[in-house]
Structure 1
Amino acid sequence: MTRSGRACPHPASSMTVDMLPPYEPSPLVLPDYSRTPSDDERTLAFTPRPGVTTREPEQRSHVKCFKEAIIIFKDQDEGVRLPTYSRGGIVSGEIGLTCPDQVLEVNVKLYGQMSLMAAEYGTSGATLVSHKETLWASKPAGGASRPCPSILPFSIRIPCTYTSRDGKTTRLPPTFEHIFMSIPALIVKCNYSLSITIVKTRRYRFASWNVSKTFSVVLNYRPRTRPQRPFVMVDTVFSSLKPVPEEWRQLVATSETRFGSSGTPIVCHLLIPSVQTFAITDAIPFHVQLCSSLESLYELVPPSSCLLDPEKKRKDNSFLPRDSDGVRVRIVRQIQVEVDGHKRVRTVTIGTSKLNPMPPALAEVHSTNEICVDWQGEVKCMEDITCGGFSAGGLLVKDFIVLDLIPITVRESFLLPIQLSQPIRLVTDTWTDTDGVHPQDT
């Protein structure tokens, strides 16, 4: 009964029960997942997790042979000099024992060490990674003795960070080494290795004893990164300024004259890509313009230099700066070391450039007023450079694009030398994927 006094109908009399149709599986088959897009597809965004490889598995191995063991490192690129791993990579492979009958124990250890030495302040350093595992033991805890197998697999993951002495967590630095033998000397090393220790038993008549041998293999730790975007260039730098001016950064400096001199200062303009992040294999385009009098320009570059006349090409058809040319563009690496609270800084050139004079040639200019001379070129890292800048504890590595304007005769010239620099970031991979797969970056 309801509050109004009317009877409420029974639920069973007002509802109908519908039978659901039987379930039939869909005939559609889901396609296999692939990291690499098809011909009619393209990747819009890609953010891999640390430690997850983005390459298809490669069936290549790097082999190190010793008298009592053979160490095989899996998933290595063909032709590598050292086993190479990226950030969060897994050092995996197999150990083949030549005489497993006498083996009592086999241990593997992944070790990384950063060593800093400044001659006048002493040494400093940090343990980057130290991880040891027992691959096999003849008498495990609570077990009986057993024979050692001839092949033992191993797998150790490289950590992404380490803890410094002051308790800060810092990213693991790449393999890096540089030695400055100038006075005072400065030595910087970041090394990684995998050590295999084999414990054997020796017997002679009624006596027996245990001996151990350690075999060490140097590893190349190379965290892979790439630029967030590419740099855009249309034919020449000047032709790119109008359609995409935001892609270029202009740096201006003035080479002043000595006090009391009647010479004309030189105004310098340097144009480089505004992205300021480049791969170590990229040829970085740039444009240099110098504006001053003819007399001042000849203080930097002699009239006989091919940097002033495009018709004076050299045998190799490349306009490489000579000692007599006072205009140079290069990549400079600054290494800063802190030992016992004291800082030491050294710089080294890691990239050279080629300069191409732009028309009109200076030889065709006869004006006594202010004139402008233009060069276009590319600057690129040397082949032995394998990593970019990084910061780790007491070690800081930074890179710069540097323009040097140095008069031919520095002491006699009325011009003062100047150096125009711009910080850049060097990474391991280019933005464009050339092999059809994504680089292992994070």
Structure 2
Amino acid sequence: MSLPASISRLPSYTPSSPPPSYFPDPTNGEQRIYASGRIRSRPTGIYTKKSSGITVALTEQDSSKPFYDRQGIVNGFILAEDRKAISEVQIELIGEMDLSVPEYGAGNVTLFQNVHTLWKLSSESDQPSSRSNICPNTIPFACIFPLTFVSNAKDPTSARNSLPPSLDISFLGTLSASVKYLLKVRVIYERYPPFHLWNRVKTTSLSLNYYPRSRPPYPLNLGPDLFTDLKIAPEEWHQTISVVKSNREDVVSSVDCHLFVPSLRIYGLADTIPVHIGLTGCPRSLRHFLYSPDSDELRAKNLSNPGSLMSVQIIRQVCVKVDGIKAVRSTVIGEGKVREVPPHIDEFVQLEYDEERVTLHWEGEVRCFETTTLGGFSTSHLSLKDFIILRVNPVSTDSGFSSHQVEVSIKLVTDSAGIDF
């Protein structure tokens, strides 16, 4: 049987060329768009505490402080003295929030309280002192941090909030807040002598640091030139427009202020956050806002030091609620710098005509202080909320303008994008 002509005329094939060589780092003409971070190795040490004849050891920890992530598992073991007299061993994982507003009072919120019995003397044994009823030399345990807590313990149907991190915040004379997590170990001994009314109990407590980590869903993929990047990819920026109102509209008109930050508005504590600022108005208004008409010295100072015209900060707002009373305080947790972007100011403000509106540009960066270690969060009783604050200041009190402030709400998280936990 002969093959069809279409099959007999199939073209010949040659082996494919080998795949190109790949390198871990970019070569000429290439750039790294995104790189996944390496997984951090877990601690392998043991944290121990000995008190009242009880030794508690926490595994997978550094020797200095025990830290736990979101839904972290507290693993360890217990050793107790006088094992023959022990009748019961318990552990209790506790979360507490203490709030205080001196003018109105204080409050305590129990986030959770989980008790576990690790070992108990059998009441049915005919020989309480037998080897099978002696407390083991080493008692292992494992308990887990819950993901959420009930905002109102008296109402189980109330809203659930994520567990806040361990913290201790105080504003002298105004408000204070602390969140603490404890592991309590309780060893109960048989009544001795037998006619005593109460069992002898020994207790020891360990402070645990709860530090839930999170990161942005993707990194800040922005180019080195913010002004160009703003034109090419405007969707990557969040714009806030506000009006710097004139106090003398008959002399100078108002100026529009544009603040741009990366559109995601979720940033890691170590991220450098780019910002872009634009002031739009007629040349006459910009002259009054940016320069002192009677002082060349002050004018030169502001040209060389944009920071005297505007400043960028990260502000953290701490909100505490006690018995329905809300107290709010703010603190600076980050600073930034801005610089002028060409075309320079002189090319516009010295124009003679005032009909056409023009825009002056600045760019810069802002980041958190290294001492900032907590991300933002919100619960029914306590919240940490963060903002990028731009302050724009006229150089003269006779300018016809007042100082202007722009706020952009952001969310700060513990890690940068690409960091694997």
TM class by smaller structure: 0.7 to 0.9
Matches within 5 A, 1:314-325: 321=307, 325=308
Structure-2 residue corresponding to 1:384: 371
Structure-2 residue corresponding to 1:293: 286
Structure-1 residue corresponding to 2:58: 73
Bigger mean CA deviation after superposition, 371-380 or 123-132: 371-380
Matched residues in 2 for 1:348 and 1:360: separation? 35
Structure-1 residue corresponding to 2:303: 308
Matched, 1:393 2:380: yes
Matched residues in 1 for 2:342 and 2:84: separation? 77
The letter for the 2-side match of 1:397 is: L
Does the C-alpha gap of structure 1 residues 383 and 82 become closer, same or farther in structure 2, counting only changes over 3 Å? farther
Deviation for aligned residue 1:172: 2.2
Matches within 5 A, 1:410-421: 414-421=400-407
Give secondary structure in 2 for the equivalent of 1:290.
strand
Structure-2 residue corresponding to 1:179: 170
CA contact (8 A) 2:320 2:328 kept: yes
Give secondary structure in 1 for the equivalent of 2:146.
coil
Does the C-alpha gap of structure 1 residues 393 and 125 become closer, same or farther in structure 2, counting only changes over 3 Å? farther
Structure-2 residue corresponding to 1:130: 113
Matched, 1:426 2:412: yes
Structure-1 residue corresponding to 2:12: none
Deviation for aligned residue 1:309: 3.0
CA contact (8 A) 2:290 2:394 kept: no
Give secondary structure in 1 for the equivalent of 2:65.
coil
Q: Render the CA deviation track for 1:172-207: whole Å, top value 9, x for unaligned.
A: 22223322224xx22222221112234468989x99
Matched residues in 1 for 2:161 and 2:347: separation? 57
Does the C-alpha gap of structure 1 residues 334 and 201 become closer, same or farther in structure 2, counting only changes over 3 Å? same
Using the size of structure 2 for normalisation, the TM-score is 0.73
Deviation for aligned residue 1:111: 0.4
Matched residues in 1 for 2:84 and 2:370: separation? 46
Q: Which runs of 5+ in 1 are unaligned?
A: 1-38, 40-45, 47-53, 311-318
Matched residues in 1 for 2:141 and 2:318: separation? 36
Matched residues in 1 for 2:68 and 2:257: separation? 43
Does the C-alpha gap of structure 1 residues 211 and 356 become closer, same or farther in structure 2, counting only changes over 3 Å? farther
Task: Give the counterpart of 2:181 among 177, 192, 197.
Answer: 192
Matches within 5 A, 1:225-374: 225-259=214-248, 262=251, 265-291=254-280, 292-298=285-291, 302-303=298-299, 305=301, 308-309=303-304, 321=307, 325-359=308-342, 362=345, 367=350, 373-374=360-361
Matched residues in 1 for 2:300 and 2:65: separation? 47
The letter for the 1-side match of 2:418 is: T
Matched, 1:121 2:104: yes
The letter for the 2-side match of 1:170 is: N
CA contact (8 A) 2:258 2:279 kept: yes
Structure with the larger helix share: 2
Matched residues in 1 for 2:197 and 2:395: separation? 76
Structure-1 residue corresponding to 2:4: none
Does the C-alpha gap of structure 1 residues 155 and 261 become closer, same or farther in structure 2, counting only changes over 3 Å? farther
Give secondary structure in 2 for the equivalent of 1:308.
helix
Matches within 5 A, 1:92-111: 92-97=75-80, 100=83, 103-111=86-94
Structure-2 residue corresponding to 1:224: 213
Does the C-alpha gap of structure 1 residues 259 and 102 become closer, same or farther in structure 2, counting only changes over 3 Å? farther
Deviation for aligned residue 1:334: 2.1
Does the C-alpha gap of structure 1 residues 142 and 189 become closer, same or farther in structure 2, counting only changes over 3 Å? same
Structure-1 residue corresponding to 2:27: none
Deviation for aligned residue 1:407: 4.6
Deviation for aligned residue 1:92: 1.0
CA contact (8 A) 1:118 1:186 kept: yes
Task: Give the counterpart of 1:402 among 365, 380, 389.
Answer: 389
Bigger mean CA deviation after superposition, 382-391 or 105-114: 382-391
The letter for the 2-side match of 1:66 is: K
CA RMSD in angstroms, aligned pairs only:
3.7
Does the C-alpha gap of structure 1 residues 281 and 140 become closer, same or farther in structure 2, counting only changes over 3 Å? farther
Bigger mean CA deviation after superposition, 143-152 or 274-283: 143-152
CA contact (8 A) 2:309 2:392 kept: yes
Bigger mean CA deviation after superposition, 362-371 or 239-248: 362-371
Q: Render the CA deviation track for 1:126-161: whole Å, top value 9, x for unaligned.
A: 211101123334x23323244434432221011112
Deviation for aligned residue 1:258: 2.7
CA contact (8 A) 2:276 2:361 kept: yes
Using the size of structure 1 for normalisation, the TM-score is 0.70
Deviation for aligned residue 1:285: 0.9
Give secondary structure in 1 for the equivalent of 2:246.
coil
Does the C-alpha gap of structure 1 residues 213 and 382 become closer, same or farther in structure 2, counting only changes over 3 Å? farther
- Corresponding pairs, count: 364
CA contact (8 A) 2:83 2:135 kept: yes
CA contact (8 A) 2:289 2:399 kept: no
Give secondary structure in 1 for the equivalent of 2:135.
coil
Structure-2 residue corresponding to 1:58: 42
Does the C-alpha gap of structure 1 residues 288 and 203 become closer, same or farther in structure 2, counting only changes over 3 Å? same
Matched residues in 2 for 1:261 and 1:69: separation? 80
Does the C-alpha gap of structure 1 residues 59 and 253 become closer, same or farther in structure 2, counting only changes over 3 Å? closer
Deviation for aligned residue 1:355: 2.5
